[in-house]
Chain A
């Protein structure tokens, strides 16, 4: 894997038997010997430790909140200290450039962006905001699952008082951890930014606990799919508006029509219009009726024979906790919500029902 970059915990993943694949320019563990299915179920039952150090960590000055609002349809100015919010970088055409997390802390704003988009996002931020700083000396871990709190509290007792989307900066063995109570699995849990030089020690302390197992990218994808969370590059991209992606909830109230700071982000006209009048497409959950998974790229039809394509599967696979194939797709918004669709797999049209998202109900600590 010649030109691929390695992350701070590479050696640990190798020791754990991680199977490496190239992902967003990095050598990443897609699974460990337990396998995707067992890792997925372990996370839903106990606690899974994910290395997501490939993601971009970025700091902005506190007073950049208004400027950041020029790039995202988020109420950044109204975000209180030590809280985090989901956001989208929108494009002038109303599409999505990336999705991200935005946290307001005591002294700065802390962003986490997708690995595949971090160079783009940082350039985009720098073009509009002064004082953008990429954090390059920290690993990023996620500890997810119903026992994540129990495990994490052994190292940082204070986490038990954190609620969903709280963020803290706190000491662990002389190093500062940046912890948020959030994640990408539909489970309670934490994302922990830890200085790279102590990341290995920190991860090993967690992995020694009975509840905690290492989880690879494979299960990360099936967990987020069951949780109905979009993946940038598949369910979200520059040609899909947030409204089409069924992410209206991510357009905060003050940025909507009639709000105090209405619009003012790229593509606002299209996005706010679509909120009122509806978008041409919508993102739906999909449950294939048979056992065959329908993966990203499978074309969707309204009829078992003939007719033209009415959409496409954007993410799909097998849901280990659902025990069946699941998918998400983008379809023509005129298709009735109760209509059975057909996905063309290996030349055959197979019936697939539209389903409510998420497939697996999250259990966050509110």
Chain B
């Protein structure tokens, strides 16, 4: 699993990459009340804002961590945004993408490095 400075986690699953936000990020955001997801089939570029998360406190964006195509989004989050607070690292993934260049993953942190970053 890899981690971005924006508190996303990336997990390789066959030829796809599953993306979510970390438990740390979910805690910082507070109770999540709304998630807006991209659509399957969207072509995205690294650093595009593609997900909106609204907590009781504020709205935040999630960026595409890699270039590629969105192949699946987690529709369950639309009906139950609170999942993000309960299962950030598991069931509450946001989207699966097919990266056009998997080597873009290399720049991201491993778990130890991420843990060090959040202190």
Tell me whether B33 is interfacial, beta carbon within 8 Å: yes
Residue of B nearest to A40 (CB): B56
Q: Are B31's CB and A35's CB within 8 A?
A: yes
Whether A346 lies near B52 (C-beta < 8 A) is: yes
- State whether A222 touches B81 (Cβ < 8 A): no
Cβ of A291 under 8 Å from chain B: yes
CB–CB A325/B34 < 8 A: yes
A36 on the B face (CB < 8 A): yes
Q: Which residue of B lies closest to A222 (CB)?
A: B56
Interface residues on A, range: 10 to 19
Q: Does A315 contact B (CB under 8 A)?
A: no
A333 → chain B closest CB, angstroms: 30
The reply on A18 being an interface residue by CB < 8 A is: no
Q: Which residues of B contact A292 (CB under 8 A)?
A: 34, 36, 52, 54
- One of A30, A31, A38, A318 near B33 (C-beta < 8 A): A318
Interface size on B, residues (CB 8 A): 12
Q: Which residues of A contact B30 (CB under 8 A)?
A: 31, 35-37, 218
User: Is residue A8 contacting chain B, with contact meaning CB distance below 8 A?
Assistant: no
**Distance in Å: Cβ of A181 to nearest Cβ of chain B:** 28
Interface of chain A: mostly helix, strand, loop or mixed: mixed
Distance to closest chain A CB from B3 (angstroms): 23
Residues of A within 8 A of B74 (CB): none
Residues of A within 8 A of B33 (CB): 291, 293, 318, 325
- Interface assignment of A358: CB less than 8 Å from any CB of chain B: no
**Cβ-defined contact, A293 with B34, below 8 A:** yes
Closest to B61 in A: A346
- CB-defined interface of B36-59 with A at 8 Å, one 1/0 digit per residue? 100000000000000010101101
- A residues 168-200 near B (Cβ < 8 Å) are none
Specify the chain A residue showing the minimal Cβ separation from B81.
Answer: A291
Interface mask (A27-43 → B, CB under 8 Å = 1, otherwise 0):
00011000111100000
Complex CA distance for A346 and B56, rounded to whole angstroms: 17
Cα(A346)–Cα(B36), bound, Å: 11
Known: A291-B78, A292-B36, A295-B59. A36 touches B31 (CB 8 A): yes
User: Whole-angstrom distance between the alpha carbons of A36 and B33 in the complex?
Assistant: 12
Contacts of A31 in B (CB 8 A): 30
Q: What residues of chain A have their CB less than 8 Å away from a CB belonging to chain B?
A: 30-31, 35-38, 218, 222, 291-293, 295, 317-318, 320, 325, 346
- Listed by A's residue number, 11 A-B pairs whose Cβ atoms lie within 8 Å are A31-B30, A35-B56, A36-B57, A37-B56, A38-B31, A222-B56, A292-B54, A293-B54, A318-B31, A318-B33, A325-B34
Closest 9 interchain pairs by CB? A37-B31, A318-B33, A36-B56, A291-B34, A292-B34, A293-B54, A318-B56, A35-B31, A36-B30
